[in-house]
Amino acid sequence: MTNSFPIAFLFPGQGSQAVGMGKELFDNHAVARRTFEEADEALGYRLSQVCFEGPEEKLKLTEITQPAILTASVAALRVLRAKGLKPDYVAGHSLGEYSAHVAAGTLKFADALRTVRHRGQYMQEAVPVGVGAMAAILGMPLSEVNKVSRDAAHGEVCQPANINSPEQIVISGHAGAVGRAVKLAHERGAKKAVSLPVSAPFHCALMQPAQDRLAADLSALNFQKSHCPVVCNVDAVAITEPEAARSALVRQVTGSVKWEPSVRLLMEEGVHLFVEVGPGKVLWGLMRQIDRSKKCLTVGDEETLQKTLAQVSVTAV
């Protein structure tokens, strides 16, 4: 199936996991089955069983969540490839950037799996439980969120962690500072500001210990020039060179996820069709907040796979 227009594959990050993810693709497609078997072998435990059967508490552990979402995403990617659908660009939200690099051939799947297991562990261990927090601020421009974060810091860390859409920005930092920012955001006219039930303050300066540990792991990995451009979170630029990919994955741990700017870059490159590849519909939801005029499809199970293949063949005619 040749694309008559640029297609971007988008890969979800942490928070998209659900017990049962990937099971239908595993049952119906040999290439998905092999993907889960490869993951079990690379990690040395039955990740597939946790994905398909839970328990949910285990699937939510960061060092399990990250390889689980990566595996479910790569299984869906390989099924799409087997059906003849390939991306012209790829991007992934936070953890999803690893799935994007597997899709682009920058990283081997087994290397990415072992790396994200450690990434999850390092991020969890970087900050003692209760010291950090994250909150979502809705309906407030980035310039105002930046001001709120600065004014609430009082010498502590408080910064935008996920610039998700015009409607949604997530902040991260010390629990006290984030709490003050939530109060300030309410006072200054945010539509909503709410603390998030997360296990650590991701994508802020408090993650420096995790970044340092991950940098050592990534320096030992073999990165290849990618087959197609990968839009990296931390800079919102399209990259193909191995060293640029490595640097972006390191800096991503403490840096903001510039998701809206990344999607807008893809639109500037002429992408009209976006396919969220992996569990959930988080990125589909953000796309509706960024630009409803662009078509965004999802592939996470058999139903969404068939719908997407039908839509793409119709669009490509």
Same domain, 26 and 166: no
For residues 161-177, give the mean pLDDT.
97
Domain termination site, one of 179, 198, 217: 198
Domain count, the chain: 2
Catalytically active residues are 94, 203
Same domain, 11 and 89: yes
pLDDT at 147: 98
Residue 190's domain comprises: 132-198
Distance between first and last Cα of the chain: 10
Edge-to-edge strand ranges of the sheet holding 132-138: 158-163, 168-174, 132-138, 192-195
Same domain, 235 and 111: yes
Q: Is residue 2 part of a domain?
A: no
Chain segment 47-95, per-residue pLDDT in tens: 999 999 999 999 998 899 999 999 999 999 999 999 999 999 999 999 9
Q: Is residue 218 part of a domain?
A: yes
For residues 212-241, give the mean pLDDT.
97
pLDDT at 3: 58
Domain termination site, one of 170, 198, 226: 198
Same domain, 210 and 298: yes
- For the chain, what is the mean pLDDT? 95
For residues 240-249, give the mean pLDDT.
98
Same domain, 31 and 98: yes
pLDDT at 317: 41
- Here the CATH number for the domain that contains residue 288 is 3.40.366.10
Strand partners, 162: 170, 257
Helices 96-104 and 109-126: angle between axes, nearest 10 degrees: 160
163, 172 in Cβ contact below 8 A?
A: no
pLDDT exceeds cutoff 80 at 20? yes
For residues 282-304, give the mean pLDDT.
96
Question: Would you report the helix, strand and coil content of the chain in percent, each value rounded to 5?
Answer: 50, 15, 35
- Here the CATH number for the domain that contains residue 181 is 3.30.70.250
pLDDT at 198: 85
Rounded CA-CA distance 103/73 in Å is 10
Same domain, 111 and 157: no
